[in-house]
Chain A
Amino acid sequence: MFRPPVKPHYKTISRRKFLQLGGGVATALGAGSVAVGLNSMIVSRPVYAASSEDAKWRQFEGSKLVFMSENTPPSFAIRDNLKEFYDLTGIEVEILTDDLPIVQQKIGIDLRGGQADFQLNYIQDKPIGSPFADFYEDLTKYAQDDTLPQDPDGFEEGAWFENFLRACGEYYEPGRIVAFPYDCAVACTFYRQDLFEQLSPDFEAEYGYRMEFTNDTTWKQVQDFASFFTMLRKDGRTDIPYGYGQHHGTFAWTTHLDIQRMLFSHGSWTEFDIDDKLGSKTPGPTRWGDEQSILMMEKYKALADVSHPDNLANGTLQLNTAYAAGDIAMQVQYHEFAASVEDPSNSRAADGKTAYAPCPKGEQSWVVGDGGVVNGTNCGIGGIGINSAAEEKLKRAAYLFANWSVSKSTQLKVLKELGGTPTRPSVLTEPDVIEARARPSSMPNALTFDAVYDYGIKDPHFVLGPKIPEANEYYNILLTEVQRCVSGDTEPEEACNELKIQIDDLHEV
């Protein structure tokens, strides 16, 4: 049926020729992929202090940079607006995004390799900043360079929200700033105001006080609220399955942040006797295993016992999903999640059902000794920094991007477009933003600003550390022992003592 043509128009090809062609194509593809890969490029022309602002911005026109970042709203919004930066500078920027643990690994390998494939790095304060701080360029020298354009708001501590610059930019060495605050995730309480109002009389009858969230609501009261919801569920008196949920999941830092809030609220307890905001490369013996830590572990476990049963599988995102699905009545969550909670197409907690409050306060009767109580509030402050292994001109070009990405105008745009999390207080003075802080809000994240920017991030409530080079291994040890305790495999005292042994061994104390 099918016969080969007698006089074909095509030519036959010998095996040798085929192999030659194949080899040629493979070589060309390989060389091409290397050429157009992550390679950065630098083009520069001389600029002087007296040059125009435009000339300073365009001095590296034609260059190419790579920015490795977490998949947070600012990075998506900035990626969508890269043309604006390109028009301003003529610099092409490739933004690569991934989950934070992956970013941490990729950045670590790049820094260790010394090749500087990613000239710009997303420096999340503890998982990335603490172990890799020495690999980043000191930005103060660029911030004082009059041949580079500078932000009108400046880069000094007062240009940012309280504690932010030190949190993500300063490690172990005072005055050396390796990152500018790029975005932030600050913890606050999300709770179902509709349910709280509806059920408060029943709660008051049972516990003798109103079920409501204020700045003075304590962890002990949260325990009561959670127990109350558990009881209601058993009695079939509410549709909402659980009262509270903790953060655990697969990323160890999540668990650390969750228990740290409770620990710091009681006597401002921290793990090491070091400057919490500066950190230390030699933190010395840990305080785990002392009376306060054991008591807190007991309370944390007691809260876990009346929380969402899938606590240990729920990371931050999954917990928020459970809240948005109507499975829990309250959560301590990062304020960037307000945008998703307030989205009625994805959330049963939208349409004014959710209210926001600072993180719970410590319970005075739970403090061992004479310490005070605070609303322990922690965060992840993501900074943008420059790989010190990059070529000097590349670093200067990278500085232009860092400068632009943290500017007030960029942050405002991100907040309006994708629900960003500003790091400059000047953004909050804009009339649109002031208006959005009350319902109905066009920027849902702004609903949390009272609890977060006006209260939680301020001292004495703000807790950051521990900034230690071994931060990631420390979190991993902590996750294991806390989860063992919460699962009932170990007693709180045993867990804390085990933590003490392993952490001191880690630091060779």
Chain B
Amino acid sequence: MKDQLTEAFVSTKAIFRDGGLVIDAPAGARNAALSNRFYFYLMMPAIIVLAAITLYPFFWLIYMSLHTVDLGLADDTWNNLKNWTRLGRDRKFQEGWWLLLKYSSLCMFFEVTLGVMIALILNRSRYEKILVTIFLMPMMMAPVIAGLVWYYMYNSTFGWYHWLMQSLGILGDKSILGSSSTAMIGIVMVDIWQWTPLIILIVLAGLKRVPRDQLEANMVDGAGDIRNFFQVTLPNLYPFLLIAILLRFMDNFRFIDAILVLTGGGPANSTKILPTYLFDVSFSFFKLGRGAAIALTLLAVTIVLGMILVRVFERPSSTRSNSGGT
């Protein structure tokens, strides 16, 4: 039956006759082709809307990156790739990349580590539901509000957190945001506070899917909790961790809300990660062409890093499936 169907589809021929498309095919295949076309027409409105809101801005972004599109009354002018060549000597652009990688790595490391640890603890707790609700609270807050809350807590004149850290001897007279050597820690802490719950939530969902039989079989083989975690739980968590890391990774690459409120990229540019600099260039200096070039580099690197991440996480699962087949 399957072979017959395949043959019918393969024998379908589309020919042009009198300027029109005529399908010369067996009845079953012709119906299938018509059906496909029908579905395509149904999808057309959605495709057009998607193209309008994604492809058009994307090509417009490319156009802007090749032109001088400043906030002026003059028309956009071709500038011989000046927006791109300038990036090579733009120190803030280069520092922005370095700071973004540093910021993302720190956030990711602590959020994933803490998220997995807390999820493991919660998974075994009888108060799981209430604790998860409490842990999720920071995530419910708009990033700008989270930034404002922490801005006040960090303030050296009236901030509770500053007072606590100072009382414990961890901080000196300067607030955590007042020094270029500690400001990055300050903004990373806010990110960890707000987004570790997302990792907890996703990992908890993953933990519910870990097959008990595998765990029990491993325990019969003499595995303890730690060995069980690394040999059974963690491999089963990979797809979930991939989703969590990808989400946070994408978020960090476009994250500016709380940073703008907390430090504005300072002091001395120590927290001016690339998206913050991009915001400055586009909406404070109104150099839209330069901003477009920066945005495109950000987009390209995000896509490449995203693909690498997917590859890295796909490897263990394929290994598993191979070993399972033998």
Contact = CB atoms under 8 A, between A and B. Distances in A.
Interface of A: 101, 104-105, 108-109, 111-112, 131-132, 134-135, 248-252, 309-314, 318, 321-322, 325, 327, 469-470, 472-473, 476, 479-480, 483-484, 486-487, 489
Contacts of B157: 310, 318, 321-322, 325, 327
Contact of A487 (B73, B154, B173, B267): B267
- Main secondary structure, interface of B, reads loop
What 4 pairs between A and B have smallest CB-CB spacing?
Answer: A250-B264, A313-B178, A312-B267, A483-B268
Contacts of B73: 134-135
Contacts of B180: 312, 483-484, 487, 489
17 contacts: A105-B284, A109-B283, A131-B71, A132-B71, A248-B267, A309-B172, A310-B156, A310-B173, A312-B268, A313-B175, A313-B178, A318-B157, A322-B157, A325-B157, A473-B284, A483-B267, A486-B268
B16 to A, nearest CB: 40
Interface in B141-186: 154-158, 172-175, 177-180
Q: Which of A135, A251, A313, A473 has most chain B Cβ within 10 Å?
A: A313
B34 to A, nearest CB: 25
Contacts of A249: 264, 266
B285 interface: yes
A104 B172 contact: no
- Main secondary structure, interface of A, reads helix
Interface in B64-90: 71-73
Contacts of A487: 179-180, 267-268
A134 B261 CA distance: 30
A228 to B, nearest CB: 18
Interface residues of B, number: 33
A473 B90 CA distance: 13
B263 A250 contact: yes
A124 B175 CA distance: 31
Nearest to B265: A250
A389 B71 CA distance: 14
Contacts of B154: 313
Contact of B158 (A104, A111, A321): A321
Interface of B: 71-73, 92, 154-158, 172-175, 177-180, 260-261, 263-269, 280, 283-288
Given A104-B284, A473-B285, A476-B285, A312 B71 contact: no
A250 B266 contact: yes
A34 B157 CA distance: 44
A101 B155 CA distance: 21
Contact of A484 (B174, B268, B285, B286): B268
Contact of B284 (A312, A322, A325, A476): A476
Given A104-B284, A473-B285, A489 B177 contact: no
Contacts of B71: 108, 111-112, 131-132
Nearest to B186: A313
Contacts of A309: 156, 172-174, 178
A313 B177 contact: yes
Contacts of B177: 313
A311 B178 contact: yes
A146 to B, nearest CB: 30
Contacts of A132: 71
Contacts of A250: 260-261, 263-266
Given A312-B179, A325-B157, A487-B268, 17 more contacts: A108-B283, A112-B288, A249-B264, A250-B264, A252-B264, A309-B172, A312-B268, A313-B154, A313-B156, A313-B177, A321-B157, A469-B72, A473-B284, A480-B268, A483-B267, A484-B180, A484-B269
Nearest to A479: B266
Q: Which of B158, B172, B261 has most chain A Cβ within 10 Å?
A: B158
A314 B264 CA distance: 12
